């Protein structure tokens, strides 16, 4: 095993700016004077913006946690859940469609992520080799797919012809390599020092092992970033799942949720057959049911969010994150 340590990478200091004095960080300098009217106004405006971002989500949480005797009065301005209860969540998770949807979503996201990461890493590793014969042609062919596509109906026909309709594979493999994320990963991979790769080659590593044992581990920030993007993509995908997966038992959570939100009908959502088994959910008011579902769909994203947040805040991805 070649000794790979994180500190073999060139030091990157995203906040280091030209003309900066030692030990000084940009946010320590050249701000408005503390306490000046303008700076107070800006802070207030920004705090208001943060409130606008968070409040609608918080409000859904409040409604989902409000007890049945108070739910009728709960509205957009309710700040604290009266008659606090977790029974709404319990009832929602007991609806077969919902827990199956949750499992389907987890399965599709996990399987999809594995395919995404393996394929994108393979592609990124090969395509950063400048002297590879045909590299420009391959890149051009990939970039063309970013600006022109066959469209929804030819996509659907492709699935039908591959006999993938109503199979999980249709949504797992959909957009298996996203060209934007491929390019992001290529940038990370090209920062891996050549000497490290050469050392591994001398040790007798083949290309596949160099990629997965050296390049991927030292580019973990890049892998984490595209994992978040791909993961969010799979978790949030509803449209392709809705048209490709024809049987309801295979629906991911987003499709189930869409049905409730768009149809606005509780009975159709729970399903006539399930009315007895899901008696708990049937008794719950529509808005609480919907709010609980929304929160259930958001929580997994918020769980993974902090791990990658630091890369966004420090601006390491500068210039590479326009979707």
248 part of the interface to another protein, by CB under 8 A:
no
> What is the footprint of another protein within residues 279-298 (CB under 8 A)?
287, 290-291, 293-294, 297-298
Binding map of another protein across residues 76-95, x = CB under 8 A, - = no contact: xx------------------
SS3 197: helix
Q: Could you count the other beta carbons within 10 Å of the beta carbon of residue 42?
A: 13
> Closer to another protein at the Cβ: 256 or 270?
256
**CA pair distance 252, 294, nearest whole angstrom:** 14
> Closer to another protein at the Cβ: 59 or 87?
59
Closest CA to 97 of 257, 288, 319: 257
> What is the footprint of another protein within residues 206-225 (CB under 8 A)?
206-208, 211
> Closer to another protein at the Cβ: 38 or 80?
38
247 part of the interface to another protein, by CB under 8 A:
no
166 part of the interface to another protein, by CB under 8 A:
no
Q: Which stretch binds another protein (CB under 8 A): 39-47, 82-90, 185-193, 217-225?
A: 39-47
Min dist CB 48 to another protein, Å, is 11
Min dist CB 24 to another protein, Å, is 9
263 part of the interface to another protein, by CB under 8 A:
no
119 part of the interface to another protein, by CB under 8 A:
yes
Closest CA to 87 of 271, 281, 276, 277: 281
Handedness of CA 244, 248, 253, 255 (dihedral sign): positive
Question: Left (φ > 0), alpha (ψ -120 to 50) or beta: where does 228 sit?
Answer: alpha
> What is the footprint of another protein within residues 136-165 (CB under 8 A)?
138, 141-143, 145-158, 162
**CA pair distance 15, 24, nearest whole angstrom:** 10
72-110 b/e with 16+ CB inside 10 Å = b?
eebeeeeeebeeebeebbebbeebebbebbbebbeebbe
> What is the footprint of another protein within residues 51-70 (CB under 8 A)?
52-57, 59-60, 63
């Amino acid at each position: 095993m070649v000794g790979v340590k994180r500190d073999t990478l060139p030091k990157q200091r995203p906040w280091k700016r030209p003309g900066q004095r030692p030990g000084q960080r940009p946010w320590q300098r050249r701000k408005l004077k503390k306490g000046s009217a303008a700076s107070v106004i800006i802070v207030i405006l920004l705090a208001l913006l943060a409130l606008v971002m968070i409040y609608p989500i918080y409000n859904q949480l409040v409604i989902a946690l409000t007890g049945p005797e108070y739910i009728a009065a709960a509205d957009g301005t309710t700040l604290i859940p009266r008659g606090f209860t977790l029974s709404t969540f319990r009832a929602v998770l007991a609806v077969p469609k919902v827990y199956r949807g949750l499992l389907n979503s987890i399965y599709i996201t996990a399987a999809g992520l594995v395919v995404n990461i393996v394929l994108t890493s393979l592609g990124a590793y090969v395509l950063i080799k400048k002297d590879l014969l045909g590299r420009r042609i391959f890149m051009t062919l990939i970039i063309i797919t970013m600006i022109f596509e066959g469209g929804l109906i030819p996509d659907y026909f492709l699935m039908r012809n591959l006999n993938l309709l109503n199979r999980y594979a249709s949504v797992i493999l959909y957009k298996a390599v996203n060209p934007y994320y491929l390019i992001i990963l290529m940038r990370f991979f090209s920062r891996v020092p050549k000497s490290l790769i050469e050392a591994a080659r001398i040790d007798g590593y083949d290309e596949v092992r160099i990629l997965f044992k050296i390049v991927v581990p030292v580019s973990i920030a890049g892998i984490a970033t595209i994992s978040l993007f791909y993961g969010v993509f799979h978790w949030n995908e509803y449209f392709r799942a809705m048209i490709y997966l024809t049987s309801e038992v295979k629906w991911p959570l987003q499709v189930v949720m869409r049905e409730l939100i768009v149809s606005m009908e509780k009975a159709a959502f729970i399903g006539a057959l399930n009315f007895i088994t899901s008696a708990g959910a049937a008794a719950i008011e529509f808005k609480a049911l919907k709010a609980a579902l929304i929160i259930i769909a958001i929580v997994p994203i918020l769980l993974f969010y902090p791990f990658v947040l630091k890369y966004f805040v420090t601006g390491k991805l500068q210039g590479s994150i326009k979707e």
